[in-house]
Amino acid sequence: IELRHENHVALFIFGDSLLDNGNNNYISTILDFRANFWPYGETFFNYPTGRFSDGRLIPDFIGLPLIPPYLKPGNPEFRNGVNFASAGAGALLETHQGLLRQELGVAKAKNLLSKAVYLIGIGGNDYLTKNSTMVSNEEFVPMVIGNLTLAVKEIYKKGGRKFGFMEMMPLGCLPYIKAQNGGCCINGITQFAELHNSGFPKALNELKEKLNGFKYAHYNFFESVSERLNKPSKYGFKDATACCGYGEGRGVYSCGGKRGVTEFILCENPDDYLFFDAYHFSEKAYQQFAKLMWSGTIDIVWPYNFKTLFQANDQMF
């Protein structure tokens, strides 16, 4: 399903490996944060692009033509938008040194910036890499939300007015986590996502009150993923595990055999699986999520869906 929009609106993307379309091909980072080798990209592109999937990601379905990675050589065309997402990125600067701290100065036209939609899907890595017991979960979550809020304010200062946000998914049910727990989810890790998802809408309401013209779409990613984990066949999946990896539910993060563990098993048809590897979804899943974000009803994306954000001008709100 191609989710085209008639009025030309740029899409700027900030996020981690769920949204990274190849920036990490161009920076010095560890192989855990790279997907520029087979079998990544095998379904749609027929070669590895750096996307952590067998094919396209959410932004590829929403922002057509395909949005280029910011770091791609040859100074890509910014008129359609650009993808700043970087695998391993977090909302906390301490999460990884590879976090892209680029300014939006390259896009000079204020008109373009104010009409653009800014898709932000970041924070999951902060929760997955939290290893300090110095800070409780209840204290840690507001730190992540606070950093997300700061990022929004910075983009707003540069002219951004329309934002799209993705909730945290049930992190404790990733194939990687389940493989370490006998195939079961770890609720303590999912608790981070639940705390985040209950706190973040309050932060968005505060931003709406403080920032004139601030509009947003908030996508209930948690619910979308949970439904597919619980009833994969209802959504056309044979399995809610990973297509590529090793061990229990192919949850060992070894897809492609270049991350320490060389053994991996690759399924025959990635469309049968909710996940492509131990952390990341299949193209089929991303396409379903993108469709919900684009035209979903208010119970799954609110107060606006992405289609409304893209197609509306200021007078329509």
Kindly name the residue from 96, 271, 277, 282 that is annotated as catalytic: 277
Instruction: Give residue 108's pLDDT.
Output: 43
Instruction: Give residue 39's pLDDT.
Output: 98
Instruction: Give residue 103's pLDDT.
Output: 36
The CA-CA-CA angle for residues 252, 254, 258, to 5°, reads 155
Determine contact, residues 44/273, Cβ cutoff 8 Å.
Answer: no
Q: Which of 94, 79, 85 is nearest to 121 (CA)?
A: 85
Per-run averaged pLDDT (10 residues), the chain, 317 residues: 56 82 73 90 95 94 75 63 67 35 44 83 76 76 90 88 95 96 94 94 97 97 98 98 98 95 97 97 98 97 95 66
Kindly name the residue from 20, 86, 280, 282 that is annotated as catalytic: 280
Kindly name the residue from 16, 17, 53, 282 that is annotated as catalytic: 17
* Full-model pTM: 0.89
Query: What would the DSSP string read from start to end of 227-244?
Result: HHHH-GGGGT-SEEEESE
Distance in angstroms (rounded) separating the CA atoms of residues 15 and 198: 20
Distance in angstroms (rounded) separating the CA atoms of residues 101 and 109: 20
* Homologous superfamily (CATH) for 11-233+284-311: SGNH hydrolase (3.40.50.1110)
* Catalytic status, residue 196: no
* Residue 82, token pair as written in the block: 């650009």
Residue type, 28: S
Instruction: Give residue 133's pLDDT.
Output: 61
CA separation, residue 103 to residues 68, 107, 155, 201 (Å): 16, 9, 9, 26
Phi, psi of 282, rounded to the nearest 5 degrees:
-80, 160
* Catalytic status, residue 126: no
Beta-bridged to residue 120, according to DSSP, are 14, 165
Question: Domain residues of the chain, as ranges?
Answer: 11-233+284-311
Determine contact, residues 203/216, Cβ cutoff 8 Å.
Answer: no
Determine contact, residues 38/51, Cβ cutoff 8 Å.
Answer: no
How long, in residues, is the chain? 317
Beta strand 162-166 pairing with 215-219: parallel
SS3 state at 197: helix
Determine contact, residues 290/13, Cβ cutoff 8 Å.
Answer: no
CB-facing half-sphere around the CA of 115: CA atoms within 13 A? 18
Beta-bridged to residue 14, according to DSSP, are 120
* Catalytic status, residue 218: no
If phi over 0 gives left and psi between -120 and 50 gives alpha, with beta otherwise, what is residue 309?
alpha
Determine contact, residues 229/240, Cβ cutoff 8 Å.
Answer: yes
Distance in angstroms (rounded) separating the CA atoms of residues 63 and 55: 15
Instruction: Give residue 7's pLDDT.
Output: 54
* Residue 16, token pair as written in the block: 């981690």
